[in-house]
């Protein structure tokens, strides 16, 4: 659940959030691509780290 007010709609929260600042979506996509394509970590370890970070940020996994 987003911690900011998002526009109403049926799209996923992420889509509605980036709709507020579409230029940020390009940067976020490039960052995500770099992390997933150029990571030296095995996939399973990367996912464990991702889940732990989400847990620390009190995000639903």
DSSP classification of residue 58 = T
Does 34 map to a domain? yes
Does 3 map to a domain? no
pTM of this structure: 0.51
Does 25 map to a domain? yes
Grade residue 32 by pLDDT with cuts at 50, 70 and 90. Answer: confident
How many structural domains are present in the chain?
1
Q: Report the percent of the chain where pLDDT is more than 70.
A: 95
pLDDT 10s digits, 3-29: 778 888 888 888 898 888 889 899 999
Domain that holds residue 24: 13-56
Could you tell me if residue 6 is left (phi over 0), alpha (psi between -120 and 50 degrees) or otherwise beta? Answer: beta
Per-residue buried b or exposed e for 22-33, using 16+ beta carbons within 10 Å of the residue's own CB = eeeeeeeeeeee
Provide the greatest CA pair distance for the chain: 39
Does 5 map to a domain? no
Highest-scoring range by mean pLDDT, 33-37, 44-48, 56-60: 44-48
Does 28 map to a domain? yes
Does 52 map to a domain? yes
């Amino acid at each position: 659940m987003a911690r900011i007010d998002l526009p109403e709609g049926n799209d996923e929260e992420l889509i509605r959030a980036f709709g507020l600042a579409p230029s940020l979506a390009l940067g976020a996509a490039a960052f995500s691509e770099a992390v997933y394509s150029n990571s030296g970590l095995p996939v399973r370890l990367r996912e464990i780290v991702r889940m732990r970070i989400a847990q620390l940020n009190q995000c639903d996994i």
